[in-house]
Every structure is written in structure tokens, then in C-alpha cells.
Structure 1
Amino acid sequence: MKEITSTMVNPTIKKLLSYATLEEKVDGEYKKYTCLPSRKLYSMEVNGETISCIGVEFLNSYTAVIKHIAVLPKERGKGIGSCMISFLCKNHDIHSIFAETDKEAVSFYSKFGFQITSLGEKYLGVERFLCEFKVK
């Protein structure tokens, strides 16, 4: 895993972020990762190809929020998302990780060990979920 620090938007990272947020928000989110010290963006490469990214906001020394997590469609289901979360746990002294997600991603977070709480219909017709993981 490597940290993305360049302000030049990498087209592969931009494509990955588009899986995790609205297309029109990608450039703004990328800029936050390169400009805000509380935000970190990491990518994973296999054989020279960037296949995934995870973006995190550190609320304090012990608490992080996963803002974006994305894996190329052809690489999904191989444990890459879990590997990225494990990387965060091992490389940062965090005690809690949070994420807000939709129904599609609940099973991913649940399998990793996150506790899931429904936030109800936060957007018209869209139920959202709060996922919380206590790092041991």
C-alpha cells in the first residue's frame, strides 16, 4: 500500500474513487486527501496496476472514518478491501474505525467484524448504515 500525496489527479485513482462517490465529487474529494492533514488516501498495486484505494479521515489520534473504499470490479471478492482495512489497523494507532454505507456494502463490513446500525432513510428511498469496528 502506498500513500497518495501528489496533487496531480491520477486517472486510475480518480476512476476508483468514482466507484465510491458521485462522479462530480471525485476531484474535490481527491483534493481533500492531498491538502488536509487529517485525511489520507492509500492505493494498492498488483503487478504495477493500481487495483484499489482507501481514503480515511482521522478524527483524532484513535478514531478514523473510512470515507472511500474501492476495488476494481475484476478484483472484487479477493479480500482486497479487508486487506486495506487491516493495513490501517496495523499502521495507525487507532482504536475505532467508522464508515457510513449503503445496503450493498453492509455484508462486506459485517464480515470484517464491524457492528452495523441502520441510520434509516437518510436520503429519499436510500437506507444508510453506520458501521463501527473496535480495533483490538
Structure 2
Amino acid sequence: MSLKNYWDSDAVKSLLAECMWADDNRVNEELKRYLAADGCELFGCFINGELAGIAGISCAAAHEVEIRHLAVQKSWRGRTLGSNMVAEIAGWERVELLRAETDQDAVGFYSKAGFEINSLGEKYPGVERFECVLHTRPVAEISGA
């Protein structure tokens, strides 16, 4: 469900902060970008009326989607909620390529979800970053072969 009109911005900001490791000002600015920008969307997953997880995406190209933020409430972690959100996005008809950039902590999650993992090296001092890529359809199907 889109979070553009969701009433509890504090719950959204709390989850967004978990995957940004940023101060309140940066979290607020990122939320504003999601709410205002074309090509960016912030989705929420609700369980029993509670915002249990978020997925922030941007459409980089016609059939390419980047997962910019993905977070699950601590009480719901380990119950496949994050994997289900990724699978939902990967299953969209228009999506042929799904990308994410992450750190060492989430590489296992993306690898388990079927993403190819490539090191980007030490993008920030002392922090190795990884590009995660998932082709959602066989290459032959994408190219029309």
C-alpha cells in the first residue's frame, strides 16, 4: 500500500531511519522526496493494522526498479516479511531488473532472495558497499528471443 497519504508519519520515519542511519533532518528530507517525486514511491506492509515494514523504490529506467530503502519492524523480522515485499515488487509485470545497494549486514538477505551480489568496494570510509541485481525474467524473455 502506498504511504503517500498514511497518517502516522512517525512510524514511517522510524522505519526509514533504520535503513538510512541518518539524523532526523535527513530522514525528513528523504520522506519529502518520496512524497513529492515522480518515479519514487514508498510502500508499507501492514499486519493487524500496524505498519510492519516499508519498501522505498525508484524507477531508474522503463523496466528497472531500484530498492532504495527496505525495513521491517523488529517484532516482525525473521518472518519473511522483507522477502515477501521484495517478491511483490519483483513480480510486477513491468519490472525486468531489480537493483539494490547495501552494506555487509544485508548481503545475505539479498543473496538468499536470488540477487547477484557485486562488491562496489569501500564506497565510504571503512564501509564496503554491494550492488545487488535480480533479473525478474529470463534474459531470453526480456530480449524477445
Partner of 1:82: 83
Contact 1:9 1:30 in 2 (8 A): no
Map of 1:31-46 to 2, 5 A cutoff?
31-46=32-47
24-33 vs 113-122, greater mean Cα deviation: 24-33
Matched, 1:3 2:32: no
Name the TM-score, length of structure 2 as normaliser: 0.88
Which residue is equivalent to 1:17? 16
- The runs of 5 or more residues in structure 1 that have no matched partner are none
Contact 2:91–2:136 (CA under 8 A) maintained in structure 1: no
Q: CA RMSD in A?
A: 1.4
CA distance in 1, matches of 2:90, 2:103: 23
Question: In the TM superposition, what is the alpha-carbon distance from 1:92 to its structure 2 partner?
Answer: 4.8
Any unmatched runs of 5+ in structure 2?
A: 138-145
CA deviation profile, 1:112-132 (whole Å, cap 9, x unmatched): 000000111111111110000
**Larger CA deviation: 106-115 vs 23-32:** 23-32
Mapping of residues 1-136 of structure 1, within 5 Å: 2-6=1-5, 10-21=9-20, 22-23=22-23, 24-136=25-137
- Secondary structure of 2:95's aligned partner: coil
Shift of residue 90, structure 1, vs aligned partner: 2.5
In the TM superposition, what is the alpha-carbon distance from 1:75 to its structure 2 partner? 0.9
Q: Once superposed, which parts of structure 1, at least 4 consecutive aligned residues long, lie more than 6 Å away?
A: none
Change (3 A) 1:7 1:34: farther
Structure (1 or 2) with the larger CA radius of gyration: 2
User: 2:117·2:132 contact (CA, 8 Å) conserved in 1?
Assistant: yes
Matched residue type, 2:11: T
Matched letter for residue 125 of structure 2: L
User: How many pairs align?
Assistant: 135
TM-score by structure 1 length? 0.94
Question: How many Å apart are 1:9 and its aligned residue?
Answer: 6.5
